[in-house]
Structure 1
């Protein structure tokens, strides 16, 4: 079996299967630490983008991509040149919220076709406990003709990369690692220690590691759902939620979560993997699914609040001019996949409002392909009846009141500041009809 020493000395190569927001930074970091890396992705256009020295994810930057020694390829046969494989493909959900394992099954099929004896395969994709051993291994065995535990070994090390976060990076976050046996665990742990300065946590089993990952985001989802429910209640009471949370946050053990739209491919998705497996075992989740329902409905709630505030301002709702600033699932990240801003857009359309959307950070081609959304330039936003400041991009955080004034048509300014970026009192004193979660 491949060893840490062979990876470290470049006698054997390491591959990354899937070069998105998770896989690409891992590949680049291993290469930076002197490991021979093969970066594989099915998307030929993405591979060509990387080869041209461009980082479309903004995770590491163009200069790093230009200088990296990663061998970017869309030719699956190049995977035969590696002995340590890391699979980092997305694990989305279907429209009915059941797990969509198509990407991880497809990656297993491709890797299986090109797997050689003595390899170690480590999955990073977030899954429910059992997927690695019960679903991925049989595919690898079938496609390769090799026997797991004899000809190749498997491990699991859940990704913890936070897209757009420049403080919590691969090398600064403790990495959970696991392996099918002690020998594999030792190899997996030592290989990841090459790039993870914060160290690794050796989980007792692959299932334990899978479970740990899926509950991390489920816990965060539940906490945000609680904040969203509080926001709904306090808005009905005429109390500012942010002020309440600031006051409560002075207690040493108060958990500082805030209300907001929960999108992306982690927090809004992972809980469904856990509840799906629970249902298979005859248990119907109560807390997890109730939190999911609250968070999934927040886009609709925001749109309804916008309409109510338009009415308060004596504005005609149908055909009202509304602008949405920000479309990505989180701040300072171009990724629009599973953004909850689209829920606001769709709900406003139900009221006869077709909002204009601006987002200088978002991947324009992706937004057009996934949602048929076309962005406008910031300078094109003026004479608005209402503005929804939806995403906390740094560029938006720097807005002055004078700049925001330019977006509106008259003195009746309806402003929805979803992330609480602005000073509520200042805007209310200036005559704004200001609302936030």
Structure 2
């Protein structure tokens, strides 16, 4: 039976580190880095069973994909039960997941004084901003995570600095605290090898399609315990009625919990356009200068030229707001450029983008166009086959051949050529991660 062993968990100040050992068959899914996470609060007094949660949240889906068991000295009893529920949901969603068992020498139910704080995973995009608006009376701590869309690599320092500055500014303007979490969860995992084995089963990357609901929430556990957070919110990407295979859904996130904290998949009952409506009402009544950040290309503002910028700008217009007042350079001339790019397949789009454009089309049917350019675009959108917009999203042949070779390479050979994998890694990260 394949296995993953969690050992040597340590907490020094605000830093968590641990190492793992795995069966030979699973070694290729992990790099030689120990798992590391840093917070901006001391975690030295957090019980070891809670400190184990961040690494378990990353490795358990890998174990379940291989029918492997996971061993740990100590784990929070509430989280152990949560893992069983999350595993059931993921295995029901994906046929290739086999499941496995968590074995712990001890499970703990620590005495913990309930706090009155809540937290919200926050980027400043449409989904998390809508979630903030809905819970603003709680003054939730705004939590930003480095390690997924912003990597721990020095090349991403400017992106992280830009995100920190923007979230800190939003928090100061709205009387909220912040929490910044940094982790190497996707360089601790061998993400290219996970793609090589499992990309054929999923629409996006490993983390977006399988791991990020449990993974991101689990990263927050020591910080949430130390701060006394009773509720932790993560905004939905999709909405009720869209049954897509995705790593963050109500049947995953709502199960995640540990002593003192329950997690919530928020704003799922609202479509993306309805979330923009909530934001628009808030702008008109309380925050006329609110800025959104959703760009796929930069973190220090919106480029106004990527698919997500165009889509958000049009959604703002349909909710009665002027995009340029909220971070999006957009004019009637952009409708022509957007249509041309969609028709040419300039962007890699998936089924979730298809649903978002369908949502826009539905709202456009109820809205009087503000200009002839807008009318022309909406008339085209009414007639276009949205499935055609995502038909070209299959990975390039070179990547597919690379993945086939990787998953059929003996681990001893793979370990020898691993530096070449690291060099080529950037070229394999074309799959969508955050929407």
Q: TM-score scaled by structure 1? A: 0.28
1 or 2, which has the higher helix percentage?
Answer: 2
Tell which has more relative contact order, 1 or 2 (C-alpha 8 A, sep 6+).
2
Q: TM-score scaled by structure 2? A: 0.28
